[in-house]
Structure 1
């Protein structure tokens, strides 16, 4: 099969769909990989590295896209819509619930689109979302600590505090992978950490990880209203597979937060769980609304592309290989991959996306 790897076009997105080592395995299996020139530079991989792995380097995105299977990292942007073709396989993060324009484009194009974030095991685990969730969770506290600095617009709080001065308060909405990883970093910094989650079993599991170092609270409107105003750093880590994140923090509650406190919402690519949130970018990562700093970059792991590209490929490569070897028949051979199918034959296939866009289903 011919496989295309275009250069990412999202703002400061330095990850790449396939590493040279992934390309080497694919070429050893008699597939031909076309990599757009410079696609891997941001992640530390040169055109020469890809050539040594057996790839063909092409001069334009159009040539890389003109393949049976296209492997990317982030969803196609409007300037890439022109390259999407009927009969083509597209394998990447899509997050369609928050992007009607892209959903309409994919339905009209006739492409078969498989989303990393909805590939799902029977037990509910999301193998292709997890590695980026780990990274985004850890980065959320790293970025949050930075923007709490006075020079960055924050209230000037050191998360770890010092003897005689209280540590910063970190409130995490959601105790899944993102929330757990955020808590690890926040605890390591010495912050006072609270996790709010609606799943009692998950809270019990988190107690085995953190003991008394993290305050574990059951999610309810009253509980959220009680803790959010006291947060120096609020982290949104809410995920509903395939759907928009629910709004848990309304504008009035944001108004009650300290001036200069910081909100980092990792779920922004699914709409975010804070009413005042809107997507930002690595070039312009923050804005201030209701005197609170908002950080809402949808592609946070793009800040550490050397790490995140390899982490992503470790998880996606087995599925890329199946798609290359078997084409659409791979979906009947792998139940988890089949759940990743979002668009096929001019129709929305994934139930959660159908629910968001019933008029397009």
Structure 2
């Protein structure tokens, strides 16, 4: 199969889907890999390294015209829609539920769209979302350290335990990969850390691996309101269903928080779990609502691009190999985990979440594949 690795065009997106090591694995299996010139520069991976691994360095136009599968990181942007064509395989973070115009482009072009974020192995286990979620959670805490400084607009506190100074409280909503990553760093700095989750099994697992200065609480209204009142930083790490119109934290509840405290929304669901959150960028990462600073950068892992690219390639490459070795139809039919990630199939929408949010008809992956 001819696999294309393009350069990302999202502002401040420096990751790349395939590392030179990943390319070497693909080419050793007989596949042809096209890498757009300078695709890996943002992750400190040079064109020469890709060529040594067996890739051919090409222009963007060459890559999209020749490739049978596009292997990338971020969703497609309007200027890339022209490259979509029937039966082209697109394997990336698609985020179709958040981008109706992208959904239109994928449906109209009749591509095969498989999204990293929807591949699910067992209930709640997302093997291609979890590694980047850990980066996002840890990066979110580091951002909180930065924006809690007075020189960066915060109230001038150090998120660490200092003798003679009140220890800050960090509340983390969600005990998944992002929440665990944030908690690990926040606790290691000596903060008072609270994790809220409605899944008691996740809280039990968190107890086994996290230090004892982390309080693990069931996420009910009483505990949430107490956390809002007492916290210096709230880090949201839960995925809010896209079709819900209510919020875990609404605008009125922000009045309970300490003035100029900080919300870090790792999930970046616009008008989602936190009503006042909307996506921001690394260029303009923070804003204030109701006297509360908000940090809602939607691609936190890009700040750690080299490490994040290595991790993402490590986790996505087995699925890429399966698609390339078997062809998309056989791979999707034989692997129910991969099949969960099928969003688009030759003009049909196959992701229920996007269908519900955008009020579109859809078919199940099993229907379109005839299984």
Tell me, yes or no, whether TM beats 0.5: yes
Residue 292 to residue 9, structure 1, CA distance change in 2 (3 Å): same
Report the secondary structure of 1:166's partner residue: coil
CA distance in 2, matches of 1:9, 1:159: 34
> TM-score, normalized by length of structure 1?
0.95
CA distance in 2, matches of 1:241, 1:32: 39
Report the secondary structure of 2:134's partner residue: helix
Contact kept in structure 2, 1:132 and 1:308, CA below 8 Å = yes
1:100 corresponding residue in structure 2 = 100
CA shift, 1:29, in A, is: 1.4
Contact kept in structure 1, 2:93 and 2:115, CA below 8 Å = yes
Contact kept in structure 2, 1:97 and 1:270, CA below 8 Å = no
Report the secondary structure of 2:159's partner residue: coil
> TM-score, normalized by length of structure 2?
0.92
CA shift, 1:123, in A, is: 4.4
CA distance in 2, matches of 1:321, 1:147: 41
Residues 100-119 of structure 1 aligned to structure 2 (within 5 Å)? 100-119=100-119
CA distance in 1, matches of 2:238, 2:244: 10
Residues 340-351 of structure 1 aligned to structure 2 (within 5 Å)? 340-351=341-352
Q: Deviations over 1:250-308 (max 9, x none)?
A: 11112332222111111115764211111111111111222211111111100001100
Residues 155-234 of structure 1 aligned to structure 2 (within 5 Å)? 155-210=155-210, 212-234=212-234
CA distance in 2, matches of 1:221, 1:62: 53
CA distance in 1, matches of 2:338, 2:355: 18
1:253 corresponding residue in structure 2 = 253
Residue 211 to residue 13, structure 1, CA distance change in 2 (3 Å): closer
Residues 137-156 of structure 1 aligned to structure 2 (within 5 Å)? 137-156=137-156
CA distance in 2, matches of 1:254, 1:303: 28
The alignment's C-alpha RMSD in Å is 1.8
CA shift, 1:78, in A, is: 1.8
CA distance in 2, matches of 1:243, 1:199: 21
Contact kept in structure 2, 1:27 and 1:33, CA below 8 Å = yes
Contact kept in structure 2, 1:175 and 1:197, CA below 8 Å = yes
Residue 247 to residue 191, structure 1, CA distance change in 2 (3 Å): same
1:352 corresponding residue in structure 2 = 353
2:238 corresponding residue in structure 1 = 238
Q: Deviations over 1:207-250 (max 9, x none)?
A: 22336411111112332122113221110100258877962111
2:81 corresponding residue in structure 1 = 81
1:38 corresponding residue in structure 2 = 38
Report the secondary structure of 1:359's partner residue: coil
CA distance in 2, matches of 1:211, 1:190: 10
Residue 244 to residue 266, structure 1, CA distance change in 2 (3 Å): farther
CA distance in 2, matches of 1:295, 1:143: 8
Contact kept in structure 2, 1:172 and 1:234, CA below 8 Å = yes
Mean Cα displacement is larger for which, 124-133 or 212-221?
212-221
Unaligned runs of 5+ in 2: 363-371
Report the secondary structure of 2:327's partner residue: helix
1:286 corresponding residue in structure 2 = 286
1:335 corresponding residue in structure 2 = 336
CA shift, 1:7, in A, is: 0.4
Q: Number of matched residues? A: 360
CA distance in 1, matches of 2:216, 2:118: 28
CA shift, 1:121, in A, is: 1.0
Contact kept in structure 2, 1:245 and 1:273, CA below 8 Å = no
